[in-house]
Chain A
């Protein structure tokens, strides 16, 4: 999408990694997952039900951690 520039992965605070443009993610089992979205969010908390893609579950973990009084993330 951006000529010769390398793809940029953007880390969101307490959230996923954002990737712009078509991308493939290889998971821990070596399975490749392709996204053709204009922008994709890759799970960083490890708890997504739609791994490797983010499904918002990190927010539930954050809320649970906040309830327990432990640090976020």
Chain B
């Protein structure tokens, strides 16, 4: 289904070589700062999603990989918490209102506005290739939290996930809609097809949701991220759909974003009130992680936007 990415440095070269080799051997360690750390962590997480064609599925839980994964996840978590430190957390508000306040406070450039009005078709296609890393497994990272929740937030999360997963119809499943849009746009719809060109910011976005989903202790951050993602999706999705049509992309690609205008307007309300609200009522200690996750969602998207917009501006200049 999907192939190992091209190594980008010493660490990922070592990891690729290890994954192609025998299961037995000494554990891998980080050693020191690695410029290709994001890709390495993405590969380790990917073993828990769909794996790689040429890699034995048993690597998923190999004790040889756990020390490296722990080091990379610890570095990522530390970085995310350092960036979040000092953000206003509105302790006097209910958590759903606090998430909305954090969203209202956050300022960042908007890729959707650029796509709506100015982007070239080439830029829009590049954005789709970058987004494909997440959208081809859309909703999956949040699903890791399901068995870790009590009845209240779990029932609400499943209501949203049922919609994300097409309510029983594979053709309506969101990541299938995205794949169809890519294929109709002349892009490669295969899972993981564009990981070799994924930017570091995009890999970090993906790694953060996988970290939040795969570490049970971070379920608060996973659901805060989810709520902020849904609550900042409807209006940008409308702008993206307009932009896709403006540059002449097929109706199925624009339609993917149309779908998110309506779907996420409803998901937003459920995510804020029923998922995050109920979670924090039952587990008040998770409140700060909910806000960490929400703010991280906004911050990582802003980093991706600054990176891509800066690059396109440089090309245009």
Contacts and interface: CB of A to CB of B under 8 A. Distances in A.
Interface of A: 12, 15-16, 18, 20, 36-41, 49-50, 53-57, 59-60
A56 B236 CA distance: 10
Contacts of B269: 12, 15-16, 18, 41
B261 A39 contact: no
A23 B187 CA distance: 36
A15 B263 CA distance: 14
Interface stretch (B145-153, B158-166, B196-204, B288-296): B158-166
B163 A39 contact: yes
B273 interface: yes
Dominant secondary structure of chain B at its interface with chain A: helix
Contacts of B167: 36-38
Contacts of B265: 16, 41, 53-56
B261 A37 contact: no
A34 to B, nearest CB: 13
A59 B261 CA distance: 13
B262 A12 contact: no
Interface in B227-278: 234-235, 238, 261-270, 273
B159 A39 contact: yes
Interface in B145-196: 159-160, 162-163, 167
Given A37-B163, A38-B162, A38-B167, A55 B238 contact: yes
Nearest to A12: B269
A55 to B, nearest CB: 5
A56 B267 CA distance: 11
12 contacts: A15-B269, A16-B266, A18-B270, A20-B159, A38-B162, A39-B160, A39-B266, A39-B267, A53-B262, A56-B235, A56-B261, A56-B264
A41 B266 contact: yes
Contacts of B159: 20, 38-39
Nearest to A40: B266
Nearest to A49: B238
Most buried by B among A15, A16, A40, A59: A59
A15 to B, nearest CB: 6
A56 B3 CA distance: 39
Nearest to B261: A55
Nearest to B266: A41
A3 to B, nearest CB: 16
Contact of B235 (A15, A39, A53, A59): A59
Given A38-B167, A56-B265, 15 more contacts: A12-B269, A12-B273, A15-B269, A18-B270, A37-B263, A39-B163, A39-B270, A50-B262, A53-B265, A54-B265, A55-B234, A56-B234, A56-B238, A59-B235, A60-B235
A57 B265 CA distance: 9
A37 B267 CA distance: 11
A15 B269 CA distance: 8
A54 B262 contact: yes
Nearest to A37: B163
A16 to B, nearest CB: 6
Most A CB atoms within 10 A — which of B159, B163, B269? B269
A54 B266 contact: yes
Which residue, of A15, A54, A55, A56, has the highest number of chain B Cβ atoms within 10 A? A56
A36 to B, nearest CB: 7
Nearest to A56: B234
